[in-house]
Structure 1
Amino acid sequence: MSMIRLENLVKRFGAFTALKTMDLTIADGEFVALLGPSGCGKSTTMNMIAGMETPSEGRIL
């Protein structure tokens, strides 16, 4: 059984905060979609989960 857990995840690019504190748990077999307007942090979140970006704060398990 595997899952993805985001705890207090924050991403900043200099003075710009791309993602404010985010908590999310995705259980094994669960289907999740990230929806929102342009610039809300969807791609940044996925890039951190994929390991292409490192979180400024928090952790990904």
Structure 2
Amino acid sequence: MSTDNQHYVSVRGLSKSFDATQVFENLDFDIAKGEFITLLGPSGCGKSTLLRCLAGLEMPDTGTISV
């Protein structure tokens, strides 16, 4: 596989909720080599929860994270 097309982070079907509050549902994205991303949104929309899931500090309810 060419390293130009390699995904360094791949997220598929990621969902997380706290009790009855759905934080995010069925999230899919890839981050490629050399790519920068920004998480934007209002307070309480799940930005920090997503980062905690990516770092392994929080377990998602469903989905996979490949690093």
Given the two structures, how large is their TM-score scaled by the length of structure 2?
0.82
CA distance in 2 between partners of 1:27 and 1:56 (Å): 25
> Which runs of structure 2 are paired with 1:28-43 in the superposition (5 Å)?
28-43=33-48
Q: Name 1:60's counterpart in structure 2.
A: 65
Q: Which runs of 5 or more residues in structure 2 are unaligned?
A: none
| Aligned partner (choices 16, 31, 39) of residue 11 of structure 1 | 16
Let me know the Cα RMSD of the aligned residues. 1.2
CA distance in 1 between partners of 2:40 and 2:9 (Å): 18
Q: Which runs of 5 or more residues in structure 1 are unaligned?
A: none
Contact 1:9 1:57 (C-alpha < 8 Å) held by counterparts:
yes
Q: Which has the larger radius of gyration?
A: 2
Q: Find out whether 1:49 has 2:45 as its counterpart.
A: no
The total of aligned residue pairs comes to 61
CA distance in 2 between partners of 1:42 and 1:53 (Å): 13
Given the two structures, how large is their TM-score scaled by the length of structure 1?
0.89
Q: Which secondary structure state, in structure 1, belongs to the residue aligned with residue 26 of structure 2? A: strand
